Structure 1
């Protein structure tokens, strides 16, 4: 993941210092690995870089509430989804077909 990606995610999150850089870099690397797995690719296409950042922001904001599907406090109820449908659709469009391997 490029330094540019790190800078862009910090802009999205409003982070101006360096304190979260290691964590953000780790999140970005994990998201990239997941996207490569989900799309059956070995390199992340440029067209998925913004999706990578969007998912990284979601994961960053979900820290401490991992596994929680809803929350209610003081009369306010919130629900969380793993990945918005719009992002899932974009990822699915970039999937490569898996090739079956046959023993010879």
Structure 2
């Protein structure tokens, strides 16, 4: 992992540990692992190897969304007691919109 990404992940880990009051070392390691997964997903979506501009905010937002959806993996919708919940699959639309300006095109041959 390059220095730019490592520095961004360290900063995000510090912010999220403070936000969610994470002090236990095991929980901090889980946070770091989950942030790395979110970073990889954002970089893959943008076809980049390094965070640019405001992409770190998308990593942070994606982490929060994934944390809130934990335990609901694989569900697209659920109805309980007349209340229906719909879950977005893949990268949420508002994050894709935020990241579209950072996407790099790729050239392929036929």
TM-score, normalization: structure 1?
Answer: 0.81
Secondary structure of the structure 1 residue equivalent to 2:50: coil
After the TM superposition, list the runs of 4 or more consecutive aligned residues in structure 1 that deviate by more than 6 angstroms: none
Secondary structure of the structure 2 residue equivalent to 1:71: strand
Is 1:99–2:100 an aligned residue pair?
no
CA contact (8 A) 1:31 1:55 kept: yes
- Structure 2 gaps, min length 5: 1-5
Partners of 1:44 and 1:8 lie apart in 2 by 17
Partners of 1:75 and 1:23 lie apart in 2 by 35
CA contact (8 A) 1:70 1:78 kept: yes
TM-score, normalization: structure 2?
Answer: 0.77
Task: State the shift of 1:75 in Å.
Answer: 2.5
What are the within-5 Å matches in structure 2 for residues 40-79 of structure 1? Answer: 40-79=47-86
Partners of 1:87 and 1:3 lie apart in 2 by 21
Task: State the shift of 1:90 in Å.
Answer: 1.3
CA RMSD of aligned residues (A): 2.1
Is 1:85–2:96 an aligned residue pair?
no
Task: State the shift of 1:16 in Å.
Answer: 3.7
Choose between structure 1 and 2: higher helix proportion.
2
Q: What is the match of residue 23 of structure 2?
A: 17
- Quickly say closer, same or farther: Cα 1:8–1:46, change in 2 above 3 A: farther
Partners of 1:46 and 1:28 lie apart in 2 by 18
